[in-house]
Structure 1
Amino acid sequence: MLSFLTFVPTIQASVSVSAERAILMDQTTGRVLYEKNAENPTLIASITKIMTAIIAIESGKLNEKVKISDNAILTEGSSIYLKKEDEMNLKDLVYGLMLRSGNDAAVAISEHVGGSLEGFAFLMNEKARWIGMNHSHFDNPHGLDSDTHFSSAYDMALLTKYAMNNPLYKEIFATTSYKANARDYPWLNKNKLLTHLYEYSTGGKTGFTRAAGRTLVSTAEKNGQTLIAVTINAPNDWQDHIQLLEWGGFEKFPLRKLQEPTTFPLISAVNQENIIIANITDEVFYPLADEEIQNVQKKNYMLEEPGTYQQIGKRGYYLDGKLITDTTIYQISADENQDESFWNKVGQQLKRISGMNSD
């Protein structure tokens, strides 16, 4: 099975950011379009809550009532002003966590889902390991400063890429205002990109501590392309993100179509005398700069025996010799082939062309 790489040769987007650490990633393909000290671990403040939220959402406990502890209400920093002995739906707490960055909500969530702060931190680190966040360690659900609580811009982009595949997380991430059942007023999202600064914003999470500085994760969609931007210790983070998303991503690296659905003849991998009729059913897109397009090449790889659903191989797409993405090649059965005589003629010609195995 072929896999694709996220770090490939590229002409980095020519943008300047105030952030000490930053990354811009294409959400669909994982391609890194811009990076600045992106793999260096550091304090991350409240963007930690992205991990807290996705674990809570995946816990299966969203409809459960959460009893608020003294530990939760006494947590310092930003708050949704929970009260002792309050009971709030876990789902509502996740909204308070993400829109208002409530540290009290983070502790209440962690105690309910993980049994304790320590138990929840274990879940966070297991999830980070599973996602591939190799420069991260979590010891709390809110992001208050700790020498043993850190991540990197790259890891936070990976986490966001993972979380955005969850429909409820994606919905919460994009919510500008939410009224919990236990409140008589709505929570308004702190993310100014989403509320009024950037029309293509689809969500985000803010963060700040004096030690970490301003931290921000944001997502945006334009012309069918989705991007993730992360900045850490960024004095001018709103402008950084607009620059990264608009000029570093959508303008510099738009999605290019590498493949249309197509039908074509192939020499069988099992018997070189046989011609099979194959097809590719998917369109394939990849973010590329203008100067990279001509450097993309494709190559077919055939299985010795057909796989599930008549999968007979893969077509890989390469940029400067590095695999960037791939798609599946299928065999068409005889009753699906509407013009077998035509393909037989083409097949005979194909046999005479040594080494040809693509359309």
Structure 2
Amino acid sequence: MTAMVVLDSMPNLQSPITISDEDVDYLRGSRSRLGVGTVISRETALLLALMSSENRAANALGRHYPGGLPAFVAAMNRKAASLGMSSSHFEDPTGLNSNNVSTAHDLARMVAAAHHYPLIREFSTTPGVRAEVKGRELDFHNTNQLVSSPTWEIGLSKTGYIQEAGKCLVMQARVADKPVVIVLLDSAGKQTRIGDANRIKRWMESASATGRLPTRV
């Protein structure tokens, strides 16, 4: 949602944005390699937010929106309403606030909408990138290891985690020669969301081979 709202405003993606103390996660204490004072382009911030779940980059994108964070969050909720996400509400650009709420059905709507944005498709499925941070070259990697798997054809991907929601994963992918949206919420183990995605894929491929794959699952 953060990425769609940023891109809907048609910003200059090459403009520099600065990571400030306002972007530090004092709520969850999540780690980041984007130190306060880091200056990166808006495009790089979008890439790192989508690919590596860099919360400071996501928050900075919201702060640099016209009207600042309040206007950005309002735009997120307007976008959700326009997509028919009637059970969703957003309070920050990072997803770290537990007052951000949604449902599997609404998230499927959001993934389908986000898939229409070429940059979101590209950035969310980039396996890794080297970026300059305060004069140092740092390697960042995708939080979803499946984007690097030769057995998957993934068009869009995003992981997420806070304690209240558990480990989550949304993807648009092509499975059994069909485009599908996969939404996995509150996975119990560290790799469960990856394992569940692989199990769904195997089930769909097996069902397709026997002619028993339903048109909607």
The answer as to 2:23 corresponding to 1:72 is yes
The 5-angstrom pairing of residues 312-331 of structure 1 reads: none
Residue 191 (structure 1) aligned to one of 111, 129, 144: 144
Q: Report the CA distance shift for 1:224/1:193 in structure 2 as closer, same or farther (over 3 A).
A: same
Matches within 5 A, 1:60-209: 60-61=10-11, 62-75=13-26, 76-146=28-98, 148-182=99-133, 184-196=137-149, 198-209=151-162
Alignment of 1:1-359 (within 5 A): 51-61=1-11, 62-75=13-26, 76-146=28-98, 148-182=99-133, 184-196=137-149, 198-222=151-175, 224-235=177-188, 236-248=192-204, 250-252=205-207, 290=212
Greater mean alpha carbon deviation, residues 90-99 or residues 113-122: 113-122
Q: Distance in 1 between matches of 2:53 and 2:214?
A: 41
Q: What do the CA deviations read for 1:71-122 (whole angstroms, capped 9, x no partner)?
A: 0135544444223333210110011111221111111010012533222110
1:58 Cα deviation from its structure 2 partner: 2.6
Shift of 1:225: 2.3
Deviation at 1:230, TM superposition (A): 0.4
Superposed displacement of residue 169, structure 1: 1.0
Structure with the largest fraction of helix: 2
Query: Displacement, 1:160?
Result: 0.6
Partner Cα distance (1:292, 1:170) in 2: 26
Partner Cα separation in structure 2 for residue 107 and residue 220 of structure 1? 27
Q: Structure 1 residues 122, 161: CA separation in 2 closer, same or farther (over 3 Å shift)?
A: same
Q: How many residues are paired up?
A: 207
Contact 2:170–2:184 (CA under 8 A) maintained in structure 1 = yes
Query: RMSD value over aligned CA atoms?
Result: 2.5
Measure, in 2, the Cα distance between the counterparts of 1:82 and 1:152. Answer: 31
1:193 Cα deviation after fit? 1.8
Determine which structure has the larger strand proportion and give its number: 1
Q: Is the 8 A contact 1:81 1:104 kept in 2?
A: no
Pair 247,143 (structure 1): closer, same or farther in 2 beyond 3 Å: same
CA distance in 2, matches of 1:170, 1:115: 27
The verdict on how the C-alpha distance between 1:243 and 1:86 changes in structure 2, with shifts beyond 3 A counting, is: same
Q: Which runs of 4+ in 1 moved over 6 A?
A: none
Cα distance in 1 for partners of 2:38, 2:55 equals 15
Specify the SS of the correspondent of 2:187: coil
Note if contact 2:19-2:35 (Cα within 8 Å) is conserved in structure 1: yes
- Asked if the contact 1:80/1:105 (under 8 Å) is kept, the reply is no
Displacement of 1:57 after TM fit?
2.5
Matched position secondary structure for 1:180: strand
Query: Offset of 1:153 from its aligned partner?
Result: 0.7
Classify 1:252/1:199 alpha carbon distance in 2 versus 1 (closer, same or farther; 3 Å).
same
Residue 64 of structure 2 aligns to a residue in which SS?
Answer: helix
- 2: CA distance, partners of 1:138 / 1:253: 38
Percent of matched pairs sharing the same residue: 28
> After superposition, what is the alpha-carbon deviation per residue over 1:168-189, rounded to whole angstroms, capped at 9, x for unaligned?
1111121001223545122111
Q: Could you tell me which amino acid in structure 2 is paired with residue 184 of structure 1? A: E
Residues 78, 238 of structure 1: alpha-carbon distance in 2 compared, 3 angstrom cutoff: same
